[in-house]
Amino acid sequence: MQAIHSEPLSAVAKNLRRLFWLRTVMIGFLTLTLLLLVHLNIPLKIVPIAVAVGSLIVLNTFTWFRLHSARQLDEFELLLQLLGDIAALTVLFYFSGGYSNPFVWMYLLPVAIAAVALRTLSVWLIAALAIACYSALVFWHVPLSHLHVHTVVGMHLDIHLVGMWLGFIVSAGIIAFFVTRIGQSLRDYERMMALARENALESERILALGTLATAAAHELGTPLATMAVLTRELSSEYAGNPQLQEDLALLRKEVDRCKNILTTLTSSAGQARVEEAGGIALEDFIGQTLARWRDTRPAVELDARIEGTQPSPQIAADRTLGMALINLLDNAADASPGKVDIDVRWNRQQLDITIRDYGPGLSEAVAASAGTPFFTTKEDKGMGIGLYLTRMILSRFDGTVTLENHPQGGTLTEVRLPVTDLIVERS
């Protein structure tokens, strides 16, 4: 039989699926027991008992179809199915010994499902009905003959005691299986809650960093404008000094870079994705990002290998994604000022970026803390948020970043990013 419902299930659907499998076990066990009793020539009311087991089969078949149906499931439907189980079991037990039937413990199964799945009032309704039916069977039932069976070792066992033994085995197995599943569900729920708390904390950190960035952008605008004016005045005043002109040109370039960064911060506030008309080819996006980084770190040799499926997919030109890649390259260049390697590969599904530096690599302590906020190994050079922000940016696109030591020395930074989350659909 195919697996029940491959789509994510609601709480009611999950409980109905548990009931389906529980009822399947009950049907299988009752059917095998009935066949065994018939084989042993135990006098039974076969027709009504078969009808009761058949009604459970019909009800379970209906449950199977409902789990595959598009219609919404609710607790009332689950309640009706549990009432149907109790009714079928009552007919079965009435014609097979009543309260003395060794399998009368099966009344507890609908009660257990109700306790897990239904509201308090519905649970007490199921429990009260099960108690009432069990009590009625004390006074009204068709007696079951307590015959003895002869075993292969010469022992004589009462059929009732054999039934109790088999019932205990089955009930122990059912309890072990379903309680384990319920326990696993609780553990999964606890993990989900822990992940939700962690995500909430991450959101608070990002909000705090965003507030600081906005404040910094506002405060830094004036001194940067002042430095830009001063560099122009100094350049005019000392036009005959080539060495000073070269230094002033570099200073102006760095001031312009700072102003561009602040412009990006302010223009991206409240806007996670900035798309050019029609998007930009992934290959061009990577090329422009690397060219922008080369302008800021001209002394670092960058060995870039870029290849992928052609034509290159059109993606949204997300500024923050470019900043994330630049952060990773800056970290690699800080560890390895002489040379950095980058390997970029993509297909229609995934973008893989591998950055290698030739620095000292990662110690166990650094590897365990890398990517956490305000952790840095750069003495007086970093705030400890570059890698953290990169990880947060990539997570928005279901991407990941991992760091590990290269076998030949240095650090290997690997980025995995689904291209499908970046592609711009053509109209």
Both 252 and 298 in a single domain?
no
CB atoms within 10 A of CB 215: 10
- Write the CA distances from 297 to 250, 320, 357, 365, 386, integer angstroms: 12, 19, 14, 28, 17
Helix axes 46-67, 75-94, angle to 10 degrees: 170
Both 294 and 371 in a single domain?
yes
- Write the CA distances from 419 to 79, 163, 194, 308, 399, integer angstroms: 46, 61, 29, 12, 9
Residue with the two structure tokens 């499926």: 309
Q: Answer with the one of 226, 248, 268 that is the final residue of a domain.
A: 268
Q: Of 386, 330, 331, give the one whose Cα is nearest residue 209.
A: 386
5 in any annotated domain: no
Name beta bridge partners: 402: 414
354 in any annotated domain: yes
Residue with the two structure tokens 């940016």: 393
270 contacts 210 by C-beta, under 8 angstroms: no
Whole-number pLDDT of residue 132: 94
Whole-number pLDDT of residue 83: 92
398 in any annotated domain: yes
Q: Answer with the one of 108, 130, 145 that is the final residue of a domain.
A: 145
pLDDT in tens, the chain (427 residues): 333 333 345 677 877 888 888 888 888 888 887 887 777 667 777 888 888 888 999 999 998 988 887 677 788 888 899 999 999 999 988 888 888 887 788 888 888 888 877 888 989 999 999 999 999 998 998 887 655 554 444 445 566 666 677 777 777 777 777 767 766 766 777 787 877 777 667 666 666 666 666 666 656 767 777 887 888 888 888 877 888 888 888 888 878 777 776 666 555 544 444 444 457 888 888 888 888 888 878 888 888 898 888 888 888 766 778 888 888 888 888 888 888 888 999 888 888 988 888 888 777 666 655 655 555 555 555 545 667 777 877 877 788 888 888 888 888 888 888 887 777 655 4
Both 137 and 230 in a single domain?
no
175 in any annotated domain: no
Whole-number pLDDT of residue 273: 42
Both 208 and 253 in a single domain?
yes
Residue 150, token pair as written in the block:
């002869």
Both 239 and 116 in a single domain?
no
The domain in which residue 219 lies consists of 198-268
Amino acid (one-letter) located at 402: T
Q: Of 14, 21, 63, 15, give the one whose Cα is nearest residue 174.
A: 21
> Residue 295 maps to which CATH number?
3.30.565.10
User: Going by C-beta distance under 8 Å and a sequence separation of 6 or more, which residues neighbour residue 24?
Assistant: 60
Specify the pTM: 0.46
Whole-number pLDDT of residue 217: 63
Q: Answer with the one of 124, 145, 166 that is the final residue of a domain.
A: 145
279 contacts 337 by C-beta, under 8 angstroms: no
377 in any annotated domain: yes
Whole-number pLDDT of residue 8: 43
Amino acid (one-letter) located at 217: A
54 in any annotated domain: yes
DSSP string, 322-371: HHHHHHHHHHHHHH-SSEEEEEEEE-SSEEEEEEEE-S----HHHHHHTT
342 contacts 304 by C-beta, under 8 angstroms: yes
CB atoms within 10 A of CB 107: 21
Both 246 and 113 in a single domain?
no
| Calculated CA dihedral for residues 131, 136, 137, 140, nearest 10 degrees | 180
Both 262 and 363 in a single domain?
no
Whole-number pLDDT of residue 242: 83
Q: Of 99, 92, 101, 104, give the one whose Cα is nearest residue 45.
A: 92
Residue 162, token pair as written in the block:
């054999």
| Calculated CA dihedral for residues 147, 149, 155, 157, nearest 10 degrees | -50
Both 134 and 204 in a single domain?
no
44 contacts 38 by C-beta, under 8 angstroms: yes
The whole-angstrom separation of Cα 313 and Cα 350 is 11
The whole-angstrom separation of Cα 319 and Cα 393 is 10
Both 408 and 301 in a single domain?
yes
Both 372 and 256 in a single domain?
no
Both 263 and 339 in a single domain?
no
Count the domains in the chain.
3
179 in any annotated domain: no
DSSP one-letter code for 425: P
Both 290 and 260 in a single domain?
no
119 in any annotated domain: yes
Q: Of 376, 338, 374, 331, give the one whose Cα is nearest residue 358.
A: 338
